[in-house]
């Protein structure tokens, strides 16, 4: 390296700043080294560290301002520490999975190390002032998974700058001056999420500053197998803006060149912040001194020459040489800094470990004491003392060890009725409740704004109420919503100019402007990403996935990021985005629209709403807008042309979540269903009535949550028979509903006949009306299933068909 001339002292680059950066780089390197040692020694389950990336992250942090956002990579420890948002004791607390938020304020021990999150929400779950914070969106481990939301975070700045109606939301933006720092490893740029995001950023012209940490490998796979031309900046050269076309600004810089890194990030941030132009910074020639992670050694796949090159190009080593060559410090001063950095890391590690152990000691000691008390004067004393001794000898005990020992002791004492057994049961009850909060809380909002607290308000009608097609009812609803709430925006394919494929937004873009109702490209993953990012910044986006089947394009982002956000931050972050789509009964292998089982298995953390008509959909939208949870709402595709009365209280009426509605009362069989199947089941019920079978039909309305008051059981107590009907594959949503009712509500106690399910065939439906009839449940199927159930019970009254 050629030494630079000694630079003049400035606020940005002074001797004090340089040595402060060197100290932090050394500390960060030491915690990486100690962290790997802790994993290998059994203190932690897994570790992944930011060694080799220190200088680039120090430079990026230099231009990060309050109100900005980092949507990052799990190696960003130096970046976050440089912002003052991570102490090294917190770093180790997360590595050890310390569940106390005071110890790990990022995730409360729920995420592995390297996952950093600013707590945007107060203890009640309500928004804090984001413009006063250095905002980190909670990292996720799936490669490139952090990238889609970054487009939405940056797009929010564009809306705040260009939509005067948002000027009052000063807790979320200062005129859209906030930029988004996205970070990603070079190999992960091979993911489609990255390419889709960069394309969208160029189209939208948003302040996204994308940093690529390029260390030449994706685990063991070198860059020539990852990226065309062996360089992501070369591959993206066609995205470079010029005098004729908008696009990106692209910078390349070496990850060991301190001055160049500072200058590059100053230029990149200025372009982003002032011009709202996306920027890509390709940081090259980084290293991984400890390899990819704690799961293996990089000596397995790197040559001796490569390892030697990495040692020579270690950014901390070159930074040290540069400091000496330019006279900013003596060797002795740097050695002192290095020794102090090691001691700082060592102390943080020790303090974190001691605090982690101390947090569990009380329960551990109580368990030992109670088991010993139980053993006194007990015939099973030998067995109980063996359990106690096994617990006492546990190396580095965890909460599970004490709980498992007490549960085992209670099994041994199952025939006893003494006071000590009751004390053990009380101990277990208390710790179970505490561990429920530690490990299972905050899947959904627990704030005063939770949509679960929104009470139902029935739609009101008069003799003068208009009767409209379903799509026209939605037009009226969305018109009303956009007029009364400036935070609401809608975006998706064909949402703007033509008003969506089923005309629910027809004419509204002209009325409210493209800034609020916006067409997008065919890019479902980043449509969802836009929605997540907007919702994280206080707006209320309704993002459209044109047909329900297209949700598969977005599923990784929905399940890995959105569905886990509130949970993985233990109530620290939220993104109340509404995902609007449509499904059911469209004919054909694609767009048939009923993959409910896949959603129920993937989207715990979102509400899944299945209204049977557009009035119900509007009521759900009102509930969701008042609440603060994300949701997926599936409108019935064959309901847009059906006539419905327009409620007079369109802005006020709400459909509560988790509350089924009885559509038809009956005494013989209860049928549980939802969505488009409601009409099919109702028609079947009417025909069955003519055959002497009296069917009760219940529309569950929401699948997540499902019947929170357990009202369905009351119907089954009356009919003693139940059928679950839907359009999903066998064992999908119908099986889910059965489990919720038969097991969750103990319906088996009241059944005189086996519970039945009506579902589609195991394959996707064939094209055409015949394909629909023979692939999905129809009125005839429903009639014959229910009649057969009655025939089995009363063959003389209901002879077989």
Distance CA 239, CA 248 (A): 6
8 A C-beta contact, residue 489 and residue 541: yes
Distances in Å between the alpha carbon of 625 and those of 310, 391, 574, 629, 656? 52, 50, 14, 9, 12
Q: Are strands 631-636 and 578-583 parallel, antiparallel or unpaired?
A: parallel
Helical H segments across 253-330, by residue range: 258-270, 304-312, 315-325
Query: Which tokens go with 571?
Result: 């109530």
Distance CA 272, CA 154 (A): 10
Active-site residue, from 292, 591, 607, 709: 591
Distances in Å between the alpha carbon of 559 and those of 493, 552, 555, 729? 21, 11, 6, 21
Half-sphere exposure of 311 (CA within 13 A, CB side): 9
Distance CA 650, CA 622 (A): 9
With b meaning 16 or more CB within 10 Å and e meaning fewer, what string describes 69-80? Answer: bbbbbbbbbbbb
Helical H segments across 188-292, by residue range: 192-204, 232-235, 258-270
Distance CA 193, CA 146 (A): 9
Which among 104, 107, 101, 114 is positioned nearest to 32, based on CA atoms? 114
Query: Which tokens go with 354?
Result: 């001691």
What is the number of other CB atoms lying within 10 angstroms of the CB of residue 475? 21
Distance CA 438, CA 434 (A): 6
Place of tokens 């993206």: 236
Which among 428, 565, 452, 482 is positioned nearest to 138, based on CA atoms? 565
Distances in Å between the alpha carbon of 16 and those of 12, 79, 109, 269? 10, 19, 35, 23
Annotation says 591 is catalytic: yes
**Angle, vertex CA 724, rays to CA 723 and CA 728, nearest 5:** 145
Point out the residues that are catalytic: 591
């Amino acid at each position: 390296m050629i030494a630079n001339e000694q630079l003049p002292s400035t606020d940005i680059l002074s001797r004090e700043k340089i040595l402060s950066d060197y100290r932090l780089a050394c500390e960060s390197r030491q915690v990486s080294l100690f962290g790997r040692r802790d994993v290998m020694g059994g203190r932690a389950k897994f570790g992944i560290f930011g060694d080799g990336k220190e200088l680039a992250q120090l430079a990026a942090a230099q231009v990060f301002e309050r109100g900005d956002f980092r949507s990052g990579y799990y190696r960003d420890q130096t970046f976050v520490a440089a912002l003052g948002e991570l102490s090294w004791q917190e770093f180790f607390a997360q590595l050890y999975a310390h569940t106390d938020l005071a110890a790990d304020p990022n995730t409360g021990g729920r995420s592995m190390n390297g996952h950093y999150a600013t707590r945007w929400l107060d203890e009640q779950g309500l928004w804090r002032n984001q413009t006063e914070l250095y905002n980190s969106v909670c990292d996720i481990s799936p490669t490139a998974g952090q990238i889609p939301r970054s487009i939405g975070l940056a797009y929010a700045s564009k809306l705040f700058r260009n939509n005067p109606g948002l000027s009052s939301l000063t807790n979320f933006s200062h005129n859209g001056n906030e930029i988004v720092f996205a970070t990603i490893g070079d190999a992960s740029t091979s993911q489609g999420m990255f390419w889709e995001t960069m394309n969208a950023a160029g189209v939208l012209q948003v302040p996204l500053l994308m940093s690529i940490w390029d260390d030449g490998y994706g685990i063991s796979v070198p860059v020539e197998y990852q990226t065309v031309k062996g360089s992501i900046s070369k591959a993206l050269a066609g995205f470079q803006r010029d005098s004729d076309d908008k696009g990106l600004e692209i910078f390349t810089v070496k990850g060991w060149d301190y001055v160049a890194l500072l200058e590059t990030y100053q230029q990149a941030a200025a372009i982003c912040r002032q011009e709202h132009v996306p920027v890509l910074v390709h940081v090259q020639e980084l290293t991984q001194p400890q390899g990819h992670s704690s799961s293996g050694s990089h000596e397995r796949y790197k040559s001796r020459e490569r390892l030697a090159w990495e040692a020579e190009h270690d950014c901390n080593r070159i930074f040290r040489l540069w400091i000496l060559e330019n006279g900013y410090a003596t060797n002795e001063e740097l050695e002192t800094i290095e020794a102090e950095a090691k001691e700082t890391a060592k102390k943080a590690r020790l303090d974190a470990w001691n605090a982690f152990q101390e947090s569990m000691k009380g329960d551990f000691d109580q368990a030992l004491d109670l088991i010993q008390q139980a053993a006194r004067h007990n015939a099973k004393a030998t067995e109980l003392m063996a359990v106690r001794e096994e617990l006492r000898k546990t190396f580095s005990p965890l909460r599970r060890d004490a709980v498992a020992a007490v549960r085992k002791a209670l099994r041994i004492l199952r025939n006893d009725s003494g006071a000590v057994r009751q004390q053990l049961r009380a101990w277990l009850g208390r710790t179970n409740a505490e561990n429920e909060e530690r490990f299972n809380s905050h899947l959904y909002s627990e704030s005063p704004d939770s949509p679960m607290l929104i009470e139902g308000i029935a739609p009101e009608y008069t003799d003068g109420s208009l009767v409209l097609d379903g799509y026209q009812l939605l037009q009226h609803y969305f018109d009303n919503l956009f007029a009364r709430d400036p935070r609401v925006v809608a975006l998706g394919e064909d949402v703007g100019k033509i008003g969506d494929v089923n005309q629910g937004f027809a004419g509204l873009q002209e009325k409210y402007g493209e800034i609020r109702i916006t067409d997008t490209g065919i890019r479902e993953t980043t449509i969802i990403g836009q929605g997540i990012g907007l919702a994280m910044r206080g707006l209320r986006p309704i993002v459209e996935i044109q047909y329900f089947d297209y949700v598969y394009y977005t599923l990784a982002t929905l399940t890995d990021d959105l569905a886990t956000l509130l949970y993985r931050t233990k109530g620290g972050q939220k993104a109340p985005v509404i995902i609007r789509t449509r499904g059911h009964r469209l004919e054909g292998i694609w767009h048939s629209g009923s993959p409910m089982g896949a959603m129920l298995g993937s989207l715990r953390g979102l509400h899944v709403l299945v209204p049977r008509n557009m009035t119900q959909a509007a009521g759900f939208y009102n509930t969701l807008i008042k609440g603060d949870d994300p949701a997926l709402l599936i409108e019935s595709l064959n309901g847009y042309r059906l006539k419905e009365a327009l409620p007079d209280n369109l802005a006020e009426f709400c459909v509560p979540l988790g509350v089924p509605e009885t559509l038809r009362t009956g005494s013989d069989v209860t049928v549980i269903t939802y969505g488009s199947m409601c009409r099919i089941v109702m028609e079947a019920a009417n025909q069955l009535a003519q055959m002497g079978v009296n069917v009760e039909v219940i529309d569950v309305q929401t699948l997540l949550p499902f019947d929170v008051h357990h009202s369905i059981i009351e119907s089954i107590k009356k009919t003693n028979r139940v059928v679950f009907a839907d359009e999903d594959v066998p064992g999908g949503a119908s099986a889910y509903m059965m489990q919720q009712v038969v097991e969750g509500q103990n319906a088996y106690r009241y059944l005189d006949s086996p519970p039945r399910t009506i579902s589609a065939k195991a394959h996707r439906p064939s094209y055409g009306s015949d394909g629909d009839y023979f692939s999905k449940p129809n009125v005839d199927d429903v009639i014959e299933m229910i009649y057969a159930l009655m025939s089995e019970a009363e063959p003389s009254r209901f002879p077989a068909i």
